[in-house]
Structure 1
């Protein structure tokens, strides 16, 4: 399985993040429960928004869930040629992004991390039951390195 849906006409890069849940581009993948998936990860990386004042380069920051060596993003997939492609959902922050451990570094959005008890809910129900899971994972459950 490859990361990134084939892009729409006029776009060169694969589409790797689901940001606009109402976009027709994602309609079938999101509304079809068997097209939703779990994307297992051990950590994820975000770039700082502002460059380092000394080097002038942006800094990589790695995030993990210390209580879970493997956790999961909410994802979607689709058949592509002889294989399949996937993307994962991202979300904004409740209130001020600077108040969230990821938002303080990358205020635009973060991956939707699912709690283990929500895996079945993401995979099984109708979209209106699953989409409320697309929210920022609690800061206190994340670490940054």
Structure 2
């Protein structure tokens, strides 16, 4: 489960990279270059055929806590947002963190690992969002691995799931397609296109 990621680009740069306008209705500012549960982050959504860079709070509220990752796509908790293309979004990312499942022998503690896509300055998770009485909220999809998780760069560290990273050519499809077509994109990103470090 991914609960920390970085977006080390300014809002203006993200808007340029994703061909988006800045959202004039934003109510909060992103003050850090990383996002954590319940804190602000950027999303790219569509409104009237135009991409919009918006600031929202990461995590759908549930029993007083933000739920940040979408795994059960058939759950009523997520399904209405998933089924509605206007409630889908792109979540800009420069790198994301997963913890090792087992403690490291030398320290006895779990270790954080950072994953990136070297060929892309900024990539995007497949996300969903919804309005609330206050600040809108977002979350992003996670998925399992085909076959043995240990053969995937993320699965070798965190075999339970990984965020759904979209290929740039699939951004419009995620934002506009019907539900079945959109969910066909929910698969592990090719391992050979990713890199991992521990800082």
TM value normalised by structure 2: 0.70
SS of structure 2 residue aligned to 1:133: coil
Matched with 1:49 is: 101
TM value normalised by structure 1: 0.96
In the aligned structure 1, how far is the partner of 2:102 from the partner of 2:64? 26
Please tell me whether residue 58 in structure 1 is matched to residue 107 in structure 2: no
Find the partner of 1:2 among 32, 49, 57.
Answer: 57
Matched with 2:123 is: 71
- Cα 1:13–1:91, aligned 2, differ >3 Å: closer, same or farther? same
Structure 1 stretches of 4+ moved >4 Å: none
Per the TM alignment, residue 27 of structure 1 is displaced from its structure 2 partner at its CA by 1.2
More strand by share: 2
More off after superposition, 42-51 vs 80-89: 80-89
Per the TM alignment, residue 114 of structure 1 is displaced from its structure 2 partner at its CA by 0.1
Alignment of 1:4-43 (within 5 A): 4-7=59-62, 11-43=63-95
Per the TM alignment, residue 12 of structure 1 is displaced from its structure 2 partner at its CA by 3.9
Instruction: Give the number of the structure with larger relative contact order, counting CA–CA contacts within 8 Å between residues 6 or more apart.
Output: 1
In the aligned structure 2, how far is the partner of 1:12 from the partner of 1:90? 22
Per the TM alignment, residue 83 of structure 1 is displaced from its structure 2 partner at its CA by 1.8
| RMSD over aligned Cα atoms | 0.7
Q: What are structure 1's unaligned runs of at least 5 residues? A: none
In the aligned structure 1, how far is the partner of 2:103 from the partner of 2:175? 39
SS of structure 2 residue aligned to 1:72: strand
Matched with 1:142 is: 194
SS of structure 1 residue aligned to 2:184: helix
CA offset digits 1:109-131 (Å, max 9, x no partner): 00000000000000001101110
Find the partner of 2:182 among 120, 130, 143.
Answer: 130
Q: What are structure 2's unaligned runs of at least 5 residues? A: 1-55
CA offset digits 1:23-54 (Å, max 9, x no partner): 01001110000000000000000000010112
SS of structure 1 residue aligned to 2:77: helix
Aligned residues: 142
